[in-house]
Amino acid sequence: QNLEENEELAYLNAELMTLIRDVPLEVEFNELENTEINESEINNFLDALELNTLKKRLSDAVGFEVNEKEAKKTVRDSMLDLEYETCADETAALKEIEILAKGETISVAESSDQEGNLTGLAVADSEKCYWLNADVIQRPKVVAGLNKLFSSKGPGIAVHDGKKSYRHLSRRGIFLQNINLDVTLAQYLLEASDSSVPLSEILAKHTDLYFPSEIEKEGQLNFDSENDQLHESIVNAKAIAK
């Protein structure tokens, strides 16, 4: 019944699906063979578009030599520092929250232990970084202040892996409602082939800054150490702010 009702369309589909093998081509077969590859031009073109993954894949498939970009030299002045101010109590935390609320976009990086329990929160602007430990961020007035800071009434938030940050903070009643930038999503849009690039690599690639060596060497820190968790959170917040 369906064929009867759509008879004309069925004949048209059959006609369109017919392969035509006798199309006149004014090209000899040997002219279709691969000619010499201009490796320099290909490298420059793909570098300009920052298609690094595609460049590697084409290199494997076609066989041209990939020109690796010259590695940046790490100098002491280009290293992110670990300086921060501690909001040791409710009064200090509320004071800094009020100051941050009057500024521009702030970066947020939580700290958690191996079990995923929130151990602290680093909040930074373009000038300073503040640390709020687990005891401070569970105070009702601090939670209320952070929620106001992170709401649409605040200056906006920048994060790395916002989904993870939202999950950890929401368990404590803190909600990231006004995210202006998620570095993870931005990296994915620039290079969709890989969304799991570490923040340290993203920072080094797009700026002249680097993580401190003791933070960048993953797997060599004792992440059960509260100091290591704190320092990682601080440097993450500072990197996001850049």
Which residue is associated with the tokens 């803190």?
A: 174
pTM for the whole thing?
Answer: 0.64
pLDDT of residue 178: 93
Q: Is there a single domain that holds both residue 197 and residue 120?
A: yes
Q: Is there a single domain that holds both residue 84 and residue 125?
A: yes
* Owning domain of residue 153: 76-241
State the average pLDDT over residues 160-174.
91
222 or 84, which is more confident? 84
Does 69 map to a domain? no
Q: Is there a single domain that holds both residue 57 and residue 82?
A: no
Give pairs for 134-140: CB < 8 Å, separation 24+.
136/87, 136/88, 136/89, 136/90, 136/93, 137/93, 137/172, 137/174, 138/172, 139/90, 139/93
Give the whole-number percent of the chain exceeding pLDDT 90. Answer: 32
Q: Looking at the 3D structure of the chain, how many domains does it have?
A: 2
Tokens of 117: 């329990």
Confidence category of residue 219, pLDDT binned at 50, 70, 90: very low
Q: How many CB atoms lie within 10 A of CB 203?
A: 23
Which residue is associated with the tokens 């670990």?
A: 82
pLDDT of residue 218: 46
Does 205 map to a domain? yes
Alpha carbon 11 to chain centroid, angstroms: 51
Does 151 map to a domain? yes
pLDDT of residue 222: 47
Confidence category of residue 124, pLDDT binned at 50, 70, 90: very high
